[in-house]
């Protein structure tokens, strides 16, 4: 049953990319705007007694069509065989995570020396389009025992029209199953942005679970010949490892942060400033709703790193 949906996903993705990938702006965002306008219009009409029943019926029909299409195009992929079943079993100990954290700290230090900086000394990616091409090339090099999905040949990774709103919601990017577009927030610091591109491209491949998309994004970026993509990936991996350790050994994490290179410290400061500038009730609301959405689709909550770390440790073994 699931394999049939996977096959259908490949067909509809190919069709949608032919239809929408050449358009320079996000078609999926426009569809969401139109959907919002229609819903708002029908909700307003609900306040009028004469049109209330008809408007409620149209709202229900619209929501049902949207939900059914979403499930057919995307939702069923949450139930495909998990990646963890393809990797060897091993105990995920604190010591293993610490060793990996130290390993990726050194990797980050070395790769950070190779990337471009802006005038403030903060990591700044030079060419996003080149990074996107590199990501599609790296999809062809994924280990066959982990992924037998067809790599994308058509680039349909686009900046979202909602970038200003996304910055205040904590959403870095998202995949639109109705247009097969991978959307990203173009305002993100480069240290976040490049791995986000790899993550969203993993959704385009057909990996629905968030932490599995993180892992596929990791595989895409970690061996890349592009130092910018590699640094963003290594940095994400290091932060994930430290997040998994902090409640068990806070001193280790603090020492690791002190041992960041000067460039890494500037990148971390810039990230923290970006987050602080965009905190607010929208961030809290979308964090809460995203957490519910993940759990409703057989996933861990949005702030949980353990599944990605499990996959990472097993793969490293």
Query: Residue 95 and residue 174: Cα distance in Å, rounded?
Result: 34
What pLDDT was estimated at residue 254?
95
For 94-103, the CB contacts below 8 A with 24+ separation are 94/245, 94/248, 94/249, 96/313, 97/241, 97/244, 97/245, 97/309, 97/313, 98/245, 98/249, 98/252, 100/241, 100/312, 100/313, 100/316, 101/238, 101/241, 101/242, 101/245, 101/252, 101/256, 102/256
What pLDDT was estimated at residue 2?
58
What pLDDT was estimated at residue 206?
93
pLDDT, tens only, 234-265: 999 999 999 999 999 999 999 999 999 999 99
What pLDDT was estimated at residue 230?
98
Residue 250: count other Cβ atoms within 10 Å of its Cβ.
Answer: 10
What pLDDT was estimated at residue 5?
78
State the helix-helix crossing angle for 227-245 and 210-222, rounded to 10 degrees. Answer: 130
What is the phi-psi region of residue 280: left when phi exceeds 0, alpha when psi lies from -120 to 50, beta otherwise?
A: left
- Would you say the C-alpha torsion 239, 245, 246, 252 has a positive or negative sign? negative
What strands, in cross-sheet order, belong to the sheet with 181-184?
157-159, 181-184, 173-176
pTM for the predicted model, two decimal places = 0.89
Nearest Cα neighbor of 188 from 136, 244, 122 is 122
Structure tokens at 3: 């394999």
**How many residues are there in the chain?**
317
What pLDDT was estimated at residue 248?
93
Contact indicator for 227, 90 with CB cutoff of 8 Å: no
What pLDDT was estimated at residue 304?
43
What pLDDT was estimated at residue 69?
92
Which stretches of the chain score pLDDT less than 50?
281-304
């Amino acid at each position: 049953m699931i394999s049939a949906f996977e096959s259908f996903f490949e067909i509809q993705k190919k069709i949608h990319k032919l239809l929408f990938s050449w358009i320079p702006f996000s078609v999926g965002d426009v569809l969401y705007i139109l959907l919002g306008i229609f819903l708002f219009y029908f909700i307003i009409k609900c306040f009028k007694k004469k049109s209330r029943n008809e408007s409620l019926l149209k709202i229900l029909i619209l929501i049902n069509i949207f939900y059914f299409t979403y499930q057919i195009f995307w939702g069923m992929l949450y139930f495909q065989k998990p990646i963890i079943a393809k990797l060897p079993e091993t105990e995920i100990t604190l010591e293993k995570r610490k060793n990996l954290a130290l390993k990726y700290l050194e990797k980050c230090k070395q790769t950070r020396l190779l990337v471009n900086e802006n005038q403030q000394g903060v990591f700044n990616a030079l060419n996003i389009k080149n990074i996107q091409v590199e990501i599609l090339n790296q999809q062809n090099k994924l280990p066959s025992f982990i992924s037998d999905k067809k790599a994308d040949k058509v680039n349909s990774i686009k900046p979202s029209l909602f970038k200003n709103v996304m910055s205040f919601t904590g959403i870095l990017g998202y995949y639109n199953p109705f247009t097969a577009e991978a959307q990203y927030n173009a305002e993100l610091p480069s240290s976040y942005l490049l791995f986000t591109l790899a993550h969203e491209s993993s959704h385009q491949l057909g990996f629905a679970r968030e932490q599995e998309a993180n892992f596929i994004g990791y595989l895409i970026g970690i061996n890349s010949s592009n130092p910018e993509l590699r640094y963003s990936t290594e940095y994400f991996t290091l932060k994930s490892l430290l997040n998994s350790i902090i409640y068990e050994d806070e001193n280790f994490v603090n020492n690791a942060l002190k041992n960041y290179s000067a460039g890494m410290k500037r990148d971390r400061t810039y990230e923290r400033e970006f987050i602080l500038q965009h905190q607010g009730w929208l961030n809290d609301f979308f964090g809460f709703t995203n957490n519910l959405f993940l759990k409703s689709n057989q996933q861990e909550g949005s702030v949980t790193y353990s599944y990605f770390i499990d996959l990472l440790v097993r793969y490293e073994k």
